[in-house]
Amino acid sequence: MAASTVPAALRRFMKCFLKDSALGSRRICSQSLSRTVKGCISQRTCTSSSSSSSSSPSADSVAHYDHLTQCGSLREDAQQRLVLQQLQQLQHDLKTYSNSTGFMEKEEPNPRPPKGFYIYGDVGTGKTMLMDLFYSHVDNTSKKRVHFNGFMLDIHQRIHRRKQSLPKRTLGNMFTYDPISPVAMEISNETCLLCFDEFQVTDIADAMILKQLFETLFKTGVVVVATSNRPPDDLYKNGLLRDTFLPFIDVLKEHCQTICLDSGIDYRRQDKAVSGKLYYLAEEPGSEAFLDELFEDLASTQKSLAGPRVLTVLGRDVTLDRTCGSIADCTFDELCGRPLGASDYLEMARHFDTVFIRHVPVLSLKLKDQARRFTVLVDNFYDNKVRVVLLAAVPLDRLFCHAGGDDEMDRQLLDDLGLSGEAAERLTLFTAEEEIFAFRRTVSRLTEMQTESYWIKGDRRHSTKHRNT
Report the chain's mean pLDDT, rounded to a whole number: 78
Does pLDDT of 329 surpass 70?
Answer: yes
CA angle 324, 328, 330 (to 5 degrees): 135
Q: Are 237 and 298 part of one and the same domain? A: no
Residue 13 lies in a domain: no
Mean per-residue pLDDT for 283-294?
A: 92
pLDDT at residue number 43:
42
Q: Is 313 a domain residue? A: yes
Same domain for 304 and 156? no
**Domain membership flag for residue 31:** no
Q: Residue 310 sits in a domain of what CATH number?
A: 3.40.50
Tell me the pLDDT tens digit for each residue of 134-173.
999 999 999 999 888 889 889 988 998 888 887 766 555 5
Residue % of the chain over a pLDDT of 70 = 72
Residue 26 lies in a domain: no
Q: With 80 as the cut, is the pLDDT of residue 288 above it?
A: yes
- Residue 73, domain CATH: 3.40.50.300
Among 260, 287, 305, the domain boundary falls at 260
Angle between helices 7-17 and 287-299 (to 10 degrees): 10
Q: How does 262-277 read in b/e, with b if 16+ C-beta sit within 10 Å?
A: ebebbbbbbebbbbbb
Band of pLDDT at residue 457, cut at 50, 70 and 90? confident
Q: Which of 398, 412, 400 is nearest to 370 (CA)?
A: 400
380 and 317 co-located in one domain: yes
| Domain end marker among 228, 260, 292 | 260
- Kindly give the pairing relationship between strand 193-197 and strand 223-228: parallel
Question: 38: which DSSP letter?
Answer: S
Does residue 3 belong to any structural domain of this protein? no
Whether residue 254 is found in the same domain as residue 301: no
HSE-CB for 160 with a 13 A CA cutoff: 8
Instruction: Tell me: do 247 and 334 sit in the same domain.
Output: no
- Note the pLDDT of residue 204: 83
If asked whether residues 290 and 352 sit together in one domain, one would say yes
Structure confidence by residue, pLDDT tens digits, 399-442: 887 665 555 555 554 455 455 555 555 544 445 566 667 788 88
302 and 224 part of one domain: no
Measured over the CA atoms of residue 106, residue 107, residue 108 and residue 112, the dihedral's sign is positive
Q: Are residues 299 and 255 in the same domain?
A: no
User: Residue 32's CB: how many other CB atoms inside 10 A?
Assistant: 21
**Helix count and strand count (H, E) for the chain:** 19, 11
Q: Is the Cβ–Cβ distance between 193 and 94 less than 8 Å?
A: yes
Q: Please say if the pLDDT value at position 459 is more than 50.
A: yes
Would you state the pLDDT for residue 347?
A: 94
Residues 215 and 361 in one domain: no
The total number of structural domains in the chain stands at 2
Residues 254 and 375 in one domain: no
Local structure of 28: helix, strand or coil = helix
Specify the higher pLDDT residue, 95 or 51. Answer: 95
Domain that holds residue 173: 40-260
| 5: in domain | no
Lowest-pLDDT choice from 178-182, 269-273, 353-357: 269-273
61 and 174 co-located in one domain: yes
Report if residue 107 sits inside a domain: yes
Going by pLDDT thresholds of 50, 70 and 90, the confidence category of residue 123 is: confident
Percent of the chain residues topping a pLDDT of 90:
40
pLDDT of residue 467: 39
Q: Note whether 289 and 417 are same-domain residues.
A: yes
**Residue whose C-alpha is closest to residue 130's, from 36, 235, 51:** 51
Task: Specify the range with the lowest mean pLDDT, choosing from 128-132, 308-312, 391-395, 415-419.
Answer: 415-419
Asked whether residue 34 is assigned to any structural domain, the reply reads no
**Which pLDDT does position 188 carry in this prediction?**
94
Q: Which pLDDT tens digit goes with each residue over 6-43?
A: 444 455 445 444 443 333 333 333 333 333 333 333 34
Q: Among 217, 239, 260, give the residue marking a domain's end.
A: 260
Band of pLDDT at residue 276, cut at 50, 70 and 90: low
